[in-house]
């Protein structure tokens, strides 16, 4: 799965604050994600994160 820094991930499950949108800060074996609503940062193993991704939104001008 092609996930890049700066992408917004729409996840299947909500964060406890109520949103399901996360910003990708780091990608590799783990993803560092920041909740778009409460700004909480989490480190998630890539395999677990990829199972829970519903949609990937790319920022404007970052399409390839």
Structure tokens at 13: 């499950």
Rounded to two decimals, the pTM is 0.86
pLDDT value for 64? 61
> What CATH number has the domain spanning 8-57?
2.30.30
Domain ranges of the chain: 8-57
What does the pLDDT look like over 19-38, one tens digit per residue? 999 999 999 999 999 999 99
Residues 6+ apart with CB under 8 A from 59: 6, 7, 8
Percentage of residues in the chain with pLDDT exceeding 70? 94
**pLDDT for 8-20, tens place per residue?**
999 999 999 999 9
Strand pairing of 21-26 and 30-35?
A: antiparallel
């Amino acid at each position: 799965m092609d996930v890049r820094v700066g992408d917004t991930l729409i996840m299947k499950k909500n964060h406890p604050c109520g949103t399901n949108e996360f910003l990708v800060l780091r990608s590799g074996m783990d993803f560092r994600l920041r909740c778009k609503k409460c700004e909480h940062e989490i480190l998630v193993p890539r395999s677990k994160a990829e199972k829970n991704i519903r949609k990937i939104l790319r920022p404007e001008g970052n399409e390839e």
